[in-house]
Chain A
Amino acid sequence: MKQQLRGNVADFADKLAAVGIRAQESNSLAGIAIQLQLKSKDWDFAAQIAAQYNLRWSAIWGDHQPPNIVIKVLFFGADGHLLLQTEVTEESPELTTQTPYFIAANRPERYLRDMFGVQFLENSDQRRWIRHQAWAETDFPLRQDFPVAGRPLENTAPDNGYPFAPVAGEGVYEIPVGPVHAGIIEPGHFRFQAMGEDILRLEERLGYVHKGIEKIVVGRDLEGLIRLSGRVSGDSTVAHSWAACQAAEHALGIEPPPRALILRAIFSERERIANHLGDIGAICNDVGFAFAQYQTSRLRELWQRQNQAVFGHRLLMDMLVVGGISADLSEDAAVSMQNEISQLRIELEELLPLLLESPSLQDRLLDYAILTPEDAQRLGAVGYVGRASNLQDDLRRDAPYAPYDQLKVKVPAFSEGDLTSRLRVRGEEIFVSLSLLSQLLQRLPAGDLTVNYSLPDHETEGIGLVEGWRGETLAYLRLDNQGNVLRYFPRDPSWLTWQSLEMMLDGVIVPDFPVCNKSVNGSYAGHDL
């Protein structure tokens, strides 16, 4: 029941040629179906063509290689990923914006402006995005001549003057929320314009936990890179470290042993289940249905204890290394894990219907805070947010990487796009993951945990793309001739879901915002870097 008719990327060069755009094909990056080098003047036309063929806009990132800044943008089509690349000079770094065709490009382009000084012309929104007051407007932290220590003042001023879009009218008022929120949650700012209790408009302001990950990683060896990648977003430690490992392995031209690949998938599915359990309870708790919270936090705790007992870390941090994994699974532990899987399935088969059939809970969740399938597609929402609005992308099925290329991955989806759908899709995904885990354990071959490799003697680059629990997770990596990091860019899937929160508040009242936010559960840390 694939809803959207997404175009192919295989003949994208021909599609461009048909409208007079010449692109040079390359195949320097393993794992990317099509890679094209464009002239900078063709940048927005290429996006226009991509939009015509209904490709999903995925990511944009820069790389300062003096005297140029290399810009790469990634799209996703029915037959895989398409990478477009161009260069601008550091003297006049200008490109035309892709935002008229893809709204998801807005914040990432502004991020590039703040970090590299690349100007995106013809975008009406020229406000800063990641920059608050920690560096000057004329400084660009990801330029090579910017020192990692920066030029900070002893006290960084709060970012009071950000120009939120105003809403005027009698009785309209503003509610500023954050950066410090009421609960145990990451910091960010939400600016509501409200009339009575009704939300007229919400604008997000992120960047509070910007820690300079892309800058401090430069010069690290592979071990240091992977340790850092596991801390881009703590709840997605497996996803980000897998993407980074995959990027490094593509760059080095190595393949981890089969046992390591299967165990990586086991880590990844365990991470998905742990987070979905937490979210299901938290969504219900945000409308006062504490029963669900107590039940799923109990199940999550048992799940995390098994992680600790078997692999030595409750969140599975530092389980992956370039070329393989660092923790093994004994036969006894595999048996106990199969029991745990059956046990959790029994618990959820009992628990989830209680939630979905509870009138008092569904009264708050059903047909409320709707992200329409059209809006989801316009944004290119990924993960459970997309799938609750019938946008079904899942790299495990649609661009499978080992070991998922050997498995059949079912992708649950709903077309309602309401809070209930975002709750249900998580429940369904847990069942899919439980079944995958069971199959992975049965297929676990004997063998090595890592493959030996030698460091490169030349500069090399690679991309990693995995389906984390939040959705498509990307890592781009460029290594120097000794295997140290020149450029690492992790793109958390939250970049493609945060905006959906602003789009689902039609008819929603201010007190219901927390449950809407939880239903999206974007990563602040993964976004802010």
Chain B
Amino acid sequence: MFGIYNKIRRTGCVTEPFSVSDDPIAELGAACQKEIAARFSGSLAIRMVDAGSCNGCELEMHAVNNSFYDIERFGIHFVASPRHADLLLVTGVVSRHMQEALKRTYAAIPAPKLVVAMGDCAGHGGEFGISYASCGPVSNVIPVDAIIPGCPPTPIALMQGILQLLRQKREKNG
């Protein structure tokens, strides 16, 4: 047990200030935290659905929860039930076998709701496009509010994408 405490003490805090790119993200982060505070009572709940991803996007989605990015500090967290969610984060083209599951998950999220298509597949069809097995990009199946490009998007790009969407919504709604 002491070994564990000792390891935690020596590892320290690795969480980074959120200002890795040129964009004034720290400012953006603070602004969006304010936005989340006002519109989502301080916490934005995300339900993710892999609608036909290769699993690359999921790996980077996991990464935003690691100690370096720690997306929860901005009040953003992932939830198990769509009933608890404010935002639906979708990866992959929508396989026809997942079409109904995606639509039902979308329907189960209480309004007002946001939908983000993560990655080139979800955004534009990527390598897979439309076929007998694939409906193509997410916007072919449910309405999409924002696309985060990348294959897969880096954790920073994912955070930027979510935060920018919140800012856009704030500006639009005054």
List chain A positions with a Cβ less than 8 A from chain B: 132-135, 141, 146-152, 155-159, 179-180, 182-187, 207-213, 215-216, 227-228, 231-235, 237, 278, 291, 294-295, 297-298, 300-301, 304, 308, 314-315, 317, 350-351, 353-354, 357-358, 523-525, 528
Distance to closest chain A CB from B7 (angstroms): 6
B105 neighbours in A (Cβ, 8 Å): 180
Q: Are B56 and A315 in contact (CB under 8 A)?
A: yes
**B25 interface contact, C-beta 8 A:** no
Pick 8 A–B contacts, CB within 8 A, sort by A.
A186-B53, A187-B49, A209-B52, A210-B97, A215-B132, A228-B127, A234-B53, A315-B56
- On whether the beta carbons of A150 and B132 are closer than 8 Å, the reply is yes
State the CA gap A210–B151 with chains docked (Å): 19
Taking the closest CB of chain A, its distance from the CB of B160, in whole angstroms, is 15
Instruction: State which residues 60-110 of B face A: CB under 8 Å.
Output: 60-63, 65-68, 78, 80-81, 92-93, 95-101, 105
Give the shortest distance, in Å, between A289 (CB) and chain B (any CB).
Answer: 10
CB of B56 within 8 A of CB of A150, answer no
Chain A's nearest CB lies how many Å from the CB of B118?
11
Could you say which residues of chain B place their CB within 8 Å of the CB of A152? 96, 132, 135
Shortest beta-carbon distance from B152 to chain A in Å: 7
Partner of B101, one of A147, A180, A294, A315: A180
Interface residues of B (CB under 8 A from A): 3-4, 7-8, 11, 14, 48-63, 65-68, 78, 80-81, 92-93, 95-101, 105, 126-135, 151-152, 154
Residue of A nearest to B128 (CB): A211
Q: Which of B78, B93, B130, B132 interacts with A134 by CB under 8 Å?
A: B132
- Contact at A159–B60, with CB atoms within 8 Å? no
A470 CB to nearest chain B CB (Å):
12
Contact A301 B68 (CB under 8 A): yes
Q: Is the interface of A mostly helix, strand, loop or mixed?
A: loop
In the complex the two chains form, is B97's CB within 8 Å of A209's CB?
yes
B141 vs chain A, min Cβ distance (A): 9
* A156-B99 CB under 8 A given contacts A298-B66, A301-B66: yes
Residues of A within 8 A of B154 (CB): 308, 314
Contact, CB under 8 Å: B61 / A147: no
Q: Is the beta-carbon distance between A233 and B131 smaller than 8 angstroms?
A: no
Q: Give the docked Cα–Cα distance between A525 and B92 (Å).
A: 10
CA distance A133 to B97 in the complex (A): 7
Chain B positions within 8 Å of A149 at CB level: 130-132
Chain B residues whose C-beta falls within 8 Å of the C-beta of A231 in the assembled complex: 54, 56, 126-128, 151
Cβ-neighbour of A182 out of B3, B58, B80 (below 8 A): B80
A232 to B92, CA, bound (A): 12
Residues of chain B lying within 8 A (CB to CB) of residue A523 = 55
Are A184 and B58 in touch, CB under 8 angstroms?
yes
Q: Are A186 and B80 in contact (CB under 8 A)?
A: no
Whose C-beta in chain B lies nearest to the C-beta of A186? B50
- Nearest CB in chain B: distance from A175 CB, A: 15
> With A152-B96, A180-B105, A208-B97 as given contacts, are A291 and B55 in contact (CB-CB < 8 Å)?
no
Chain B residues in 8 Å Cβ range of A158: 100-101
Closest A residue, CB atoms, query B131: A212
A150 touches B133 (CB 8 A): yes
A525 to chain B, nearest CB (A): 5
> A186-B50, A317-B56, A528-B95 are known contacts; what are 19 more A-B pairs with Cβ within 8 Å?
A135-B132, A147-B132, A149-B130, A149-B131, A151-B132, A152-B96, A184-B48, A185-B50, A185-B58, A187-B101, A208-B95, A210-B133, A211-B133, A228-B127, A291-B7, A298-B66, A304-B63, A524-B50, A525-B53
Q: Is the CB of A301 within 8 A of B99?
A: no
On chain A, the residues within 8 Å of B78 by CB distance are 183-184
List residues of chain A with CB within 8 A of the CB of B67. Answer: 294, 297-298, 301
Pairwise interchain contact A234-B96, C-beta atoms closer than 8 A: no
The 4 closest A-B pairs by CB, nearest first: A150-B132, A234-B56, A212-B133, A182-B80
Considering the complex, give the chain A residue whose CB is closest to the CB of B81: A182
Q: Given A150-B131, A317-B151, are A211 and B95 also a contact pair (CB < 8 Å)?
A: yes
User: B63 to A141, Cβ gap below 8 A?
Assistant: no
List residues of chain B with CB within 8 A of the CB of A314: 60, 154
Q: Which residues of B have CB within 8 Å of A291? A: 4, 7-8
Residue pair A134, B55 in contact (C-beta under 8 Å): no
**What A residues does B7 contact at CB under 8 A?**
291, 295, 350-351, 354
Residues in B whose Cβ lies below 8 Å from that of A216:
128-129, 131
A360 CA to B133 CA in the complex, in Å?
46
Given contacts A141-B133, A182-B80, A351-B7, A210 and B60 within 8 Å (CB-CB): no
- Which among A150, A212, A314, A524 has the greatest number of chain B C-beta atoms within 10 A? A212
**Chain B residues near A212 (CB-CB < 8 A):** 128, 131-134
CA A133 to CA B54, docked complex, whole Å: 21
B126, closest chain A residue (CB): A231
Query: Is A209's CB under 8 angstroms from B53's CB?
Result: yes
Interface centre among B7, B11, B132 (most CB of A within 10 A): B132
